[in-house]
Amino acid sequence: MSQQKVELKKQNKANRKSILRKKKIEEILSLACVSIIAIAIVAWIGFSVYKKAEQAKEANATYEYNEITTTAIQDYLNTLN
């Protein structure tokens, strides 16, 4: 039993650099994936807000023109002269 533990420790020590390198690469890849997903979510939310703001701006930009007759004012001004 003791000899097996010694052999296992030797094997782990020999492979320590490659194990650490693999863990580091795995960590970097997971961080990159999480970053890409977070950026995509933020971009999606930003685009949705922009679209809603543009739609609201277009909805508020509609104008209604009412025709006003100024004949009563013109008649009043003519009577003053």
For 8, the token pair is 């296992």
Has residue 16 got a pLDDT over 70? Answer: yes
Report how far apart, in Å, the C-alpha atoms of 53 and of each of 40, 42, 57 are.
20, 16, 6
Say if 54 falls within a structural domain.
yes
Say if 48 falls within a structural domain.
yes
Looking at residue 15, its pLDDT comes to 86
Number of separate domains in the chain: 1
SS3 content of the chain, % helix, strand, coil (to 5): 85, 0, 15
Looking at residue 50, its pLDDT comes to 95
Say if 38 falls within a structural domain.
yes
Say if 74 falls within a structural domain.
no
Average pLDDT on 29-37 reads 98
Least confident of 12-21, 56-65, 68-77: 56-65
For 71, the token pair is 């004949």
Say if 49 falls within a structural domain.
yes
Angle between helices 2-14 and 16-60 (to 10 degrees): 50
Say if 80 falls within a structural domain.
no
Rounded CA separation 64/58 (Å): 14
Residue-range definition of the domain harbouring residue 40: 2-61
Looking at residue 1, its pLDDT comes to 66
Looking at residue 20, its pLDDT comes to 92
